[in-house]
Amino acid sequence: MLSGTAEYALRAVVWLARQPDDQSVRASDLAESIGVPRNYLGKILHDLVRAGILESARGKNGGFRLATPPEELTLLRVVSSFDTIGVGAERRCLMGRPECDSSDPCPVHRRWQNASEAISRFFEETTVGDVLSDDRREGRSQADCRW
């Protein structure tokens, strides 16, 4: 469903969101924590900074942290820096037809619509804040996390 890169980004953002007091985390530590290659994660984190999702600080005590309140950060915004999910008007046809909407549908259009809309809603409506709430409700802490 998601590319490896988008998966990594999601892990990183969730991990940073769980950080108490918005503490910055160094790329190396983060890479080890979420099980992503150090150098590759560097690029991903930088992309997230350029997208305005994270902010970074150089030098001693530097690192990365969220630039946005978790409640306002949708999963769509996180993953769409890397993948084209295709929500709303940008929805891609399952069969790869260049034009495909209700007025000129591909053969599976009607039956795919339910699933397609469920996917869109998930990415558009779920925020990183929601994920943190779920965490708390299930009594999960950062220490429990493993990949």
Partner DNA sequence: CGATAACTTCATGTTAATATCTTATTATAC
Partner DNA sequence: GTATAATAAGATATTAACATGAAGTTATCG
Instruction: Kindly state whether residue 81 participates in binding a copy of itself, applying the rule CB under 8 A.
Output: no
Residue 60 contact among a copy of itself, DNA, none, beta carbon within 5 to 8 Å by kind? DNA
3-class SS of residue 87 = coil
Minimal distance, residue 62 CB to DNA, in Å? 4
| One residue of 138, 139, 141, 143 binding a copy of itself per CB under 8 A | 138
Q: How many residues does the chain have?
A: 147
Can you count the helices (H) and strands (E) in the chain? 6, 2
With contact defined as beta carbons under 8 Å apart, do 45 and 24 qualify? no
Minimal distance, residue 137 CB to a copy of itself, in Å? 9
Instruction: Kindly state whether residue 126 participates in binding a copy of itself, applying the rule CB under 8 A.
Output: yes
Task: Please tell me the distance from the alpha carbon of residue 22 to that of residue 49, in angstroms, as a whole number.
Answer: 15
Instruction: Kindly state whether residue 124 participates in binding a copy of itself, applying the rule CB under 8 A.
Output: no
